[in-house]
Amino acid sequence: MSVEAIEGLKHYFLINFAQRPGALKEFVNNVLGPTDDITRFEYMQKNNKEAGPALVGIELKSREDYDALLSNLNKYHIGYTELSKDNTLFSYLV
């Protein structure tokens, strides 16, 4: 496990993205803070043409940025599942 994950700076989410141009750009502009960074992005193609899940790794500059990240995810009604470090899915995907 990375130092960032241990320090609470790196988080992984399954995020439901709309299948339309500009969806990722909106996510970056609306949800991420000015010092947040996407460290992993893996779109998981499914049959649904309107939306699909993506594995997204986000590194924060400080632990205090975590609450703002979750607040923005909820504010913009973005469907997500956070993968906790003790989750079986976390160990499989990350």
CATH number (domain holding residue 19): 3.30.70.260
Predicted pLDDT of residue 53: 87
How many domains does one find in the chain?
Answer: 1
Three-state SS for 18-47 is ECCCCHHHHHHHHCCCCCCEEEEEEECCCC
Q: State the pTM of this model.
A: 0.81
Residue-wise pLDDT tens digits, 61-71: 999 999 999 99
**Full domain range(s) for residue 65:** 3-93
Residue-wise pLDDT tens digits, 78-88: 999 999 777 77
Predicted pLDDT of residue 2: 56
